[in-house]
Structure 1
Amino acid sequence: MGFKGIVGHEDIIAHFKSSIETGNVAHAYIISGDAGSGKKALAYAFAETLECEAGGTEACGTCQSCLQVSTGNYPDIITVTHEKPNLISVDEVRDQLINTIDIKPYKGKYKIYIIPDAELLNVQAQNAMLKTIEEPPAYAVILLLTTNLDKLLETVKSRCLKLQTKPIRERDVLAYLTNVMGLTKEKAYFCLDFAQGNLGKAIKLAGNDEYAAIVDSVVGVLAHIDEMDVETLGKAVKDIEQFKMSMNDYMDLMMMWYRDAMMLKVTGNVDKILFKNEFSILKKQAGKLTFKSIEDKIDAIAKAEQRLLANANFEVTIELLLLTLKEEASAEE
């Protein structure tokens, strides 16, 4: 889709275009930012533009190279993949990057390696890459995409040009959701508030067929968490289990619920919260909770999300989470 298909990130796009125009393309980049913030879109747009036969600062979209890139069949753009969900091993880096980078491009001017989830590179894999990143062939460009820059070794970071995505303007996200995706204003505003300037996050929630059911479930659980007994808590765990494949969205919405409680505690302003229809319930909960207890609940949700990513038992993790969220705290600091 090239740069013209990307919403926001004007500073990163301007940098890429300038480097292409002046011939100062770096050999290694790190693009960091939240999940869904546009890192992959930027990397592939840059790669497509570098390989475009028109040779400009914007991919033409019509040449053979651009058409191949759009279908994922361009031989000189390689995406490094991994088998284990939470690890990119040294063997995978050697097989897909280190041992192939000296083979000249089949077709294009550049040979481009894109490594999504670069924070999953273990220490051995990162150390193995050092010489390749420092002294790659002239035609090579390596792009590491990460949600956690701190997971990369300083020796890796020092050899790369670092770029960071930023939140997109609200009006641009809203325009995309309503004009491109055709969302109603009510749903678009909800996704906008949920995403906090992260277009990918907004699109993911908007495009989730379970969207309404997830929101209803989160509200149904958290609005009544204080009154739940053992039996209703068990039923809530079963209800949440049906959304097992959308738990990132589910957990994010749970965090937003308590963010809303925090916002009401600080400002009392309904316009600043996501769950506007539940204003009275949230205000009542906010009045009973301390700032620390709200922070503890948000932290508990984040930890539960990490446990699920590490393949912990689903029912046990969710049950422990709900028990933690059920704990009441006095409003007295």
Structure 2
Amino acid sequence: MIEFSEIIGHEDIIQHFKRSIEMGKVSQGYIINGEEGSGKKTLTRAIIKTLECEEGGTEPCCKCKSCKQMDTDNQPDVTWVTHDKPNVISVEEIRDQVNKDITIKPYSSRYKIYVIDDAQLLNANAQNALLKTIEEPPEYAIIFLLTSNIDKILPTIISRCIVLNIKPVRERDVLDYLMNELKLPKEKADFCMDFAQGNLGKAIRLATSEEYKEIIEDVTGILRRIPDMTVDDIIFAIKNMNHHKLKISDYIDLMMMWYRDILMLKITGNAGRLMFKEYYTDIRKQSAHISYEGIENVLKAMDKAKIRLEANVNFDVAMELMLLTIKENK
């Protein structure tokens, strides 16, 4: 069961929809923008469940036929657009699943709702095809675009939608969830909370990884040894990274945390605020030998690696360039 009371954070977006429902001013196009793992899909499911609820209130009743259908992903008037290729949503998929279908009136509900997840994957032709529908949708239709990169959405589409940006969840709420729901010990919960930076899904992903301890040891092992690593050592480390089940962007984010610790110690000298506290000696040694410019170069290289990987650049090449930059700025 998905309802607003079960969602952690995002109070501003929930209140926006409650007011819209009360005033009868629900828009026909929404863009929900936020990084991966920030809760876009869970939030959208709760919104749709409320919009389609037969009671018509600002909370889903969870008892009517529509609510029960939503709980089992069988609501006939709700379509989650699918795509065959992992990195693109094609014009044919938009035409077949949205444009051709949207002219048919709802089967049993007030609204006919379409959700395009990972909308940043829409190619130019797909966006132009969607634009025609968003410009003049039937009065019963609502389209949700969920994206982790709104910059890839056409300005003409953005101008015709209400944009709702996902904000970070409060740290105390993330920590409460990790400790109370996942039953994590305080030290591990603190680490996952700091790592997530307000992204609950990201915190859960690290916290529930079966390889949690191994990943942390692998990341810290590389960064402690990288000043003395040979090219062969780096190539071996890259092959090992690729075996981890955790998303590689999360792996790189863990590396960023190490360099943020270096920066924090360099600026404040306060070891109490470090995330990798058990490696204080290594972090102190590295902070004494790296310049502020060097830290900036490393963090930029990590960001660039994530961008390259998103663009499907060869994994080994992207990671080797990143690690060599780290080594050069030792």
Superposition TM-score tier, normalisation by shorter sequence: over 0.9
Amino acid in the other structure paired with 1:207 = T
Report if aligned partners of 1:114, 1:143 keep a CA contact under 8 Å in 2: yes
Is 2:21 the counterpart of 1:6?
Answer: no
2:179 maps to 178
Change (3 A) 1:84 1:272: farther
Q: How does 1:1-333 map to 2 (within 5 A)?
A: 1-243=2-244, 246-328=247-329
TM superposition shift of 1:54: 2.4
Compute the displacement of 1:245 (Å). 5.5
* CA deviations over 1:266-301 (Å, ceiling 9, x no partner): 222334332222222122212222222212212222
In the aligned structure 2, how far is the partner of 1:237 from the partner of 1:129? 40
Per-residue CA deviations over 1:194-216 (Å, capped at 9, x if unaligned) read 01111111111112222221111
Aligned partner letter, 1:162: V
Q: CA deviation at 1:304?
A: 2.1
Q: CA RMSD in A?
A: 1.7
Distance 2:313 2:136 in 1: 41
Q: Is the 8 A contact 1:86 1:310 kept in 2?
A: no
The DSSP-based 3-state class of the residue aligned with 1:223 is helix
Q: Which amino acid is the alignment partner of residue 314 of structure 1?
A: F
Q: Contact 2:169 / 2:199 at 8 angstroms: preserved in 1?
A: yes
Q: Which amino acid aligns with 2:83?
A: H
Is the CA contact 1:28–1:160 (under 8 Å) kept in the aligned structure 2?
A: yes
Cα deviation, residue 307, structure 1: 2.9
Give 1:70's aligned amino acid: D
Distance in structure 1 (CA, Å) of the matches to 2:321 and 2:264:
25
Deviation at 1:35, TM superposition (A): 1.6
**Do the aligned partners of 1:168 and 1:197 also contact (CA within 8 Å) in 2?**
yes
Q: Which runs of 5+ in 1 are unaligned?
A: none
8 Å CA contact 1:79, 1:113 repeated in 2: yes
Contact 2:297/2:329 (8 A) holds in 1: no
- Give the whole-Å Cα distance in 2 for the aligned partners of 1:198 and 1:295: 24
Paired residue total: 329
Quote the offset at 1:310 in angstroms. Answer: 3.5
**TM-score by structure 2 length?**
0.94
- 1:68 shift after superposition: 1.6
How many angstroms apart in 1 are the aligned matches of 2:170 and 2:150?
A: 23
Structure 1 residue 107: deviation in Å? 1.9
Structure 1 residues 231 and 172, CA gap change in structure 2 (3 angstroms) = same
Cα shift at 1:249: 1.8
**Runs (5+) with no aligned partner, structure 2:** none
Amino acid in the other structure paired with 1:69: M
In the TM superposition, structure 1's runs of 4+ consecutive aligned residues that sit over 6 Å from their partners are: none
State the identity %.
Answer: 56
CA distance in 2, matches of 1:240, 1:67: 42
SS in structure 1 of the partner of residue 32 of structure 2:
strand
* C-alpha distance in 1 between matches for 2:318 and 2:270: 33
Q: In the aligned structure 2, how far is the partner of 1:87 from the partner of 1:226?
A: 39
The AA in structure 1 aligned to 2:244 is: F
**TM-score with structure 1 length normalisation?**
0.93
Letter in 2 for 1:37: S
